[in-house]
Amino acid sequence: MNLHEYQGREILNSFSIETPEGLLASSPEEAVKHAKIIFEKTRKKSLVIKAQILAGGRGKSGGIKIAKNLDEVYQKSKELLGKYLITSQTSGKGKLVKKVLISEDVYIFEKKSIVEYYFSILLDRNLERNIIIYSKEGGINIEEKSNIIYTEQIDPILGLQLFQTRKIGFNLGLSKDLLSKFNKFLKILYKAYQYYDSLLLEINPLIINKENKIIPVDIKMVLDDNALFRHKKYTNYNENEDINDLEKKAIKYDLNFIKLDGNVGCMVNGAGLAMATMDMIKLCGGKPANFLDIGGSADRERVKNAFSIILNDKSVKTILINIFGGIVRCDTVAKGVVDSYSKRNIKIPIIVRLQGTNEKNAKEILDNSKLPIYYTDSLKEAANKIREILLSL
């Protein structure tokens, strides 16, 4: 699960790491209201308006704006809110800005030119441990700079050690009087990363102001989906993922559903069979509209919910059910399919390859249902039938 910048701040704050003063707004009016508070609190002559989207590269694409007064706050947040922001990290369509963060300008009043550090903790699956990647030259051009990038591996049993945090501080060229503060900062940061079962905690840029304050300017966090049940606060897919209504429904029913851009709906059990099925559909000239994996232990209700999701997908012109009945019995699948199809006034042809436990009963149930069903025992034949149906449309 990708978290927004404001959520990353919230998490660090809960570990008593200070972040710039900031308030979240979803309308220009609210932005102005919050800006008054930020101006008053910081006593600074400007603030920044930061588009909250789940993608970086905002700085270069107009997603970060400086405002010097309330009129500018109103104008500039109006320019961002409700618009699609296209950055180097979004699709061509961009991402809808639903909220902006009205945030303290942490670059102002800085006489010495500000150094923007890059700092991230992430899981390295090959090394089977967390690593820290950091650099003296962070900021918006990190990808293009030919800078020195350091890596530090963290032993899963020993955790982050003092000699390591010191080494990092030293490599970043921090002054002596800053080192102990920095050690403490990293220790807590790593704690926050671990506590939230994160895959990534990236701070870019991280700056140190003239009062030697360590300031995480931009925070990106990715939490491990498998551990989300431990972090209920961050399981709101509406807020954190760009998923469509069908996918939301699938999450609700705990089904694996992936929306694709073709017109053949696919219901399968097992990821391997799903891949083989889609390959076969493509090979025969079709294009999957989705795939839905009902898993290994589906009951009638689950199949019904699963099938309804496919039937509700407007791009679906025909459906392939390719299920191997092992623990899931074929008759259970047939009953679920009939339950969800029969009350609707539709005529979407279904190609069925149901093999395994209770397949005869399944066939009987489907026959009696009078649905537009074609049986086959071979996947190849199923795919060919699909092509035939698509050509006849």
Selected from 139, 216, 286, 325, the binder of ligand GDP by CB under 6 A is 139
Regarding 107 and contact with ligand GDP (CB under 6 A), the answer is yes
Residue 47 CB, shortest distance to ligand GDP, in Å, is: 8
Selected from 116, 152, 218, 293, the binder of Mn ion by CB under 5 A is 218
Which amino acid is present at 297? Answer: S
Residue 165 CB, shortest distance to Mn ion, in Å, is: 22
Residue 18 CB, shortest distance to ligand GDP, in Å, is: 14
Regarding 216 and contact with ligand GDP (CB under 6 A), the answer is no
Q: Which of 6, 107, 117, 118 does the annotation list as catalytic?
A: 118
Q: Which of 104, 202, 247, 359 does the annotation list as catalytic?
A: 202
Regarding 22 and contact with ligand GDP (CB under 6 A), the answer is no
Q: Choose the stretch contacting ligand GDP; rule: CB under 6 A; options: 26-34, 103-111, 157-165, 356-364.
A: 103-111
The residue (of 4 and 302) whose beta carbon lies closer to ligand GDP is 4
Peptide bond into 20 cis (omega under 30): no
Regarding 202 and contact with ligand GDP (CB under 6 A), the answer is no
Regarding 204 and contact with Mn ion (CB under 5 A), the answer is yes
51's contact among ligand GDP, Mn ion, none, with CB below 5 to 8 A by partner kind, is: none
Which amino acid is present at 80? Answer: L
Q: Choose the stretch contacting ligand GDP; rule: CB under 6 A; options: 50-58, 77-85, 177-185, 242-250.
A: 50-58
**202 a catalytic residue:** yes
Selected from 10, 152, 202, 218, the binder of ligand GDP by CB under 6 A is 218
Tell me the number of residues near ligand GDP by CB under 6 A. Answer: 17
The residue (of 77 and 318) whose beta carbon lies closer to ligand GDP is 77
**144 a catalytic residue:** no
The site for Mn ion (CB under 5 A) is made up of: 204, 218
Just list the catalytic residues. Answer: 118, 202
User: Which residues are at the interface with ligand GDP (CB under 6 A)?
Assistant: 48, 56-59, 64, 66, 105-107, 116, 139-140, 204-205, 217-218
